[in-house]
Amino acid sequence: MVPPELEEGLPLERIRGFSLEELLGMAIKAEIGAREFYKSLTEKVEIQELKEKIGWLADEEKKHEELLRRIYGTMFPGKDVVFPKEHIGPELKPVARELHGVQDIIDLIRWAMKAEEIAAKFYAELENMVDTEDKKRLMRYLSDMEWGHYYNLKAEYELLLDWEMYSQMMHVGP
Q: Are strands 6-7 and 91-92 parallel, antiparallel or unpaired?
A: antiparallel
Q: Give residues with Cβ within 8 angstroms of 8, minimum separation 6.
A: 2, 90
Q: How far apart are CA 16 and CA 128, in angstroms?
A: 11
Q: In the complex with its own copies, which residue's Cβ is closer, 94 or 152?
A: 152
Residue 46 binds its own copies (CB under 8 A): no
Judged by CB under 8 A, which of 14, 70, 79, 97 binds its own copies? 70
Judged by CB under 8 A, which of 26, 58, 71, 109 binds its own copies? 71
Residue 56 binds its own copies (CB under 8 A): yes
Residue 75 binds its own copies (CB under 8 A): no
Q: Is 10 helix (H, G, I), strand (E, B) or coil?
A: strand
Residue 159 binds its own copies (CB under 8 A): yes
Q: How far apart are CA 130 and CA 116, in angstroms?
A: 21
Residue 137 binds its own copies (CB under 8 A): yes
